[in-house]
A = this chain, B = another copy of it.
Amino acid sequence: MNSTKATGASLTGFGAHDHTRCRAASLAAAEALCAARKLQLTPVRKRVLEILLEAHEALGAYDVLARLAEEGLGSKPPVAYRALGFWVAQGLVHRIEKLNAYVACAHPGRAHDAAFMICRDCGRVAETESHGPFGQSAGEAGFQIETMVIEAEGLCPKCIPGAGL
């Protein structure tokens, strides 16, 4: 992936929505969460979350790092990976395995397993909450699930040929 090309990812579905509001809500959730868990909301961490919220799409770690570097907040891979890992651990950022990329969570504040729809044409990513029956069959097999990855790749409404594009 060329790091000058971002991987697009509208959240909460492929429709339009109010970025300003969801960004503020996520930041507020992050602050509340850090206070509650006695975690440090450091400049690098805060800025990484903001970058993902502003981009409003899935970004690779090196994309995030490039933006940090522009602002003098760190230029070496571990800086970005550490901050991303912090948010992933807190559940406010999700990693998209198929894209090796990261997105701010669209449902901050609620514990959930996320599921993603990834458009192979425009690259945008939509998050939904997951309610799969998978846990049931895994439970029958005696497997104790800790985390789930659910990602669908295909065509989003705008990119289906003949759609109202």
Binding site for B on A (CB under 8 A): 13-14, 97-98, 115, 117, 119-120, 126, 128, 130-135, 137-138, 141-157, 160, 163
A14-B143, A138-B117 are known contacts. Are A98 and B132 too (CB-CB below 8 A)? Answer: no
Q: How many copies of the chain does the oligomer comprise?
A: 2
- The answer on a CB contact under 8 Å between A147 and B157 is no
Query: A158: nearest residue on chain B (CB-CB)?
Result: B142
Given A97-B97, A157-B143, the answer on whether A150 and B128 have CB atoms closer than 8 Å is no
Whether A154 pairs with B160 at a CB distance below 8 angstroms is: no
The contact of A155 among B119, B137, B143, B152, by CB within 8 Å, is B143
Contact of A150 among B14, B132, B157, B163 (CB under 8 A): B132
